[in-house]
Amino acid sequence: MHKWLSIVGIGEDGFSSLTPIARSLIAQAEILVGGERHLSMLPANNAREILTWTSPIAASLEAILRRRGQSVCVLASGDPMCYGIGVTLTRRLAVAEMTIIPAPSAFSLACARLGWSLTDVETVSLCGRDPALLHAVLYPGAHVLVLSAGKHTPALVAAQLTQCGFGNSELTVFERMGGAHERMQSATATSWNAAEVAALNTIAITCIADPGVTGWSRCAGLPDAAYDHDGQLTKREIRAMTLAALAPLPGQLLWDVGAGCGSIGIEWMRSDPRCRAVAIEQHPTRLRYIADNAAALGTPDLTIVAGEAPTALQDLPPPDAVFIGGGLTTDNLLATCWQALRRGGRLVANAVTVASEQTLLQWHSQWRGELTRIAIQRAEPIGKFFGWKAMVPVTQWSITKP
C-alpha cells in the first residue's frame, strides 16, 4: 500500500535536530499539517498547502482523510505515538499507509534528566483529559510523569496532591525541554507557588504520603470506606470475588447494570488504564455518587448512563463482560445482557433474594456455568467481647458465553 502520510516528531530544538529521512519527508510533502508552533518553523517562502489544527481536532482529521493519496506530512511534538497525534491517526488509518518518525518524547527527556527508568514510571497525560486521572496513580514512593495541558497545570496538580494527602510530594516542572530556553523548577506540592510557567511543560512527581495515608490499591476489593453510597454497595469481600469472576483484561468493556455507587465499574477500570466501563443506574442520588466516586478514585472516564435496564442498554456498544448486581427479576434483563455479550465474554450476576436466586437457578439449568454461595462473617463488638456477625449471603452465577 502507498505510504502517502508521514508523521514527523519535532523537539523543542526545531528542524536542526531532525534526521535526513525526516527532513526529506517534510521537503517532499505537498501538504503540511501542524500547530502554529511547528508551522512557524517552516521557511518564510513556503508555497505549499498548510493545514493548521482546529479545535476540536475532528475537522482537521477529516481534512487529512479527504487528501488521501496525496503526499501529506503531519508535524508533531516529540514522539507522535506517546499520547500524540500518531495514536489518533492510527485509529483512522492503517499503519501501512503512513511513515512515523519520532523524536524523543517529553517522558524520555524527563527520565534522562532525573535518572528514572521509564519502565518504572507512572505516566499520565492531562492534555484535554480530566485531571482526576491523576488520582489513579498516586501511592507512596511512586514516580509519576504528567504531560501538562498548559501553564496552569502544575498548580492544579499541586493542589490535587495536597488534597489527596500527598502534599509533601516533590514536584519538578520541566519547561521547553531540549531547547535553548529549557528551565526546571522544583518544590513540594504544598509550597508550589511559581509565578510563571511556560505553556509547554512536563511535571515529574515523587509521591510522598502524609502520615497515615497509604493510597488505594489497584487490586479488587477496596475498603467500603473508599466510596460514598446510600447502602447500595457491593461489599468489599463480595466485590473482590465478583471482579475475580469478571476477570478484566486490558481494553475490554464492562456493563455494570444497576451500578449503585459504581464500585464494580470503578475497580474494573482501576485494574488497567485501558479498561472501559459503563455504569447503568436510574436513581438520581446514586448517579451523583457514581460520578463523585469515579473522580475521587481516578476513573473519571467511566461512562454513566441514566436509565432503567434493559431499556437503557439498547444503544450501548457490545460488552466483553457484564455484571448484574440487582434487578434480576426484571423482564428480559438477563436475556438482553446475554444476547448483547460478545462470544467469549463473561457474565456475572449476584442475587440476595429468593426470587433473584430462582432466576439464576433457571439460567444455570439451561446454560450451566458456575454457581457459588458466598457467606461472609465479620467480627464485631458484643459488649466487651467480639462475635461474628453474618452479612447477607450472596448467590453468584458466572458464565463464559460460548
45 has a pLDDT exceeding 80: no
Q: Is residue 39 scored above 80 in pLDDT?
A: yes
Q: For the chain, list the domains and their CATH numbers.
A: 5-103 (3.40.1010.10), 107-206 (3.30.950.10), 224-400 (3.40.50.150)
211-225 residue pLDDT tens: 999 999 999 999 999
Over residues 43-71, mean pLDDT: 92
Q: Which of 42-56, 185-199, 240-254 has the lowest mean pLDDT?
A: 42-56
Residue 280 pLDDT greater than 90, yes or no: yes
Residue 388's contacts (CB-CB under 8 Å, 6 or more residues apart) are 377, 378, 379, 380
Average pLDDT over residues 355-383: 96
Q: Specify the pLDDT at position 252.
A: 98
pLDDT computed for residue 42 by the predictor:
80
Please state the rounded mean pLDDT for residues 337-356. Answer: 97
Q: How confident is the model at residue 377 (pLDDT cuts 50, 70, 90)?
A: very high
- Residue 29: per-residue pLDDT: 96
Residues 94-120: tens digit of each pLDDT: 999 999 999 999 999 999 999 999 999
pLDDT class of 259 with cuts at 50, 70, 90: very high
Read off the pLDDT band of 44 (50, 70, 90).
confident
Residue 260's pLDDT is 96
Greater confidence, 56 or 310?
A: 310
Query: What mean pLDDT do residues 147-160 have?
Result: 97
Mean pLDDT: which of 138-142, 176-180, 230-234, 326-330 is highest?
138-142
> What pLDDT is stored for residue 401 in this prediction?
97
Cis preceding linkage at 43, omega within 30: no
Contact 281, 304 (CB under 8 A): yes
**Rounded-to-10 torsion of CA 354, 359, 361, 364:** -150
Q: Which residues of 113-133 are buried (b: 16+ CB within 10 A; e: fewer)?
A: ebebeeeebbbbbbeeeebbb
Q: What percent of the chain has pLDDT over 70?
A: 100
Cα distance from N-terminal residue to C-terminal residue, the chain: 37
**Helices (H), strands (E): how many in the chain?**
11, 19
Which one has a higher pLDDT value, 254 or 17?
A: 254
Confidence of residue 43 (pLDDT cuts 50, 70, 90): confident
Q: Taking all residues of the chain, what is their mean pLDDT, rounded to a whole number?
A: 96
**Whether pLDDT at 15 is above 90:** no
Backbone angles phi, psi at 22, to 5 degrees: -60, -45
pLDDT tens sequence across 156-206: 999 999 999 999 999 999 999 999 999 999 999 999 999 899 999 999 999
**What is the pLDDT at residue 319?**
98
Nearest to 50 by CA among 96, 67, 12: 67
Q: How many angstroms separate the CA atoms of 128 and 58, rounded?
A: 14
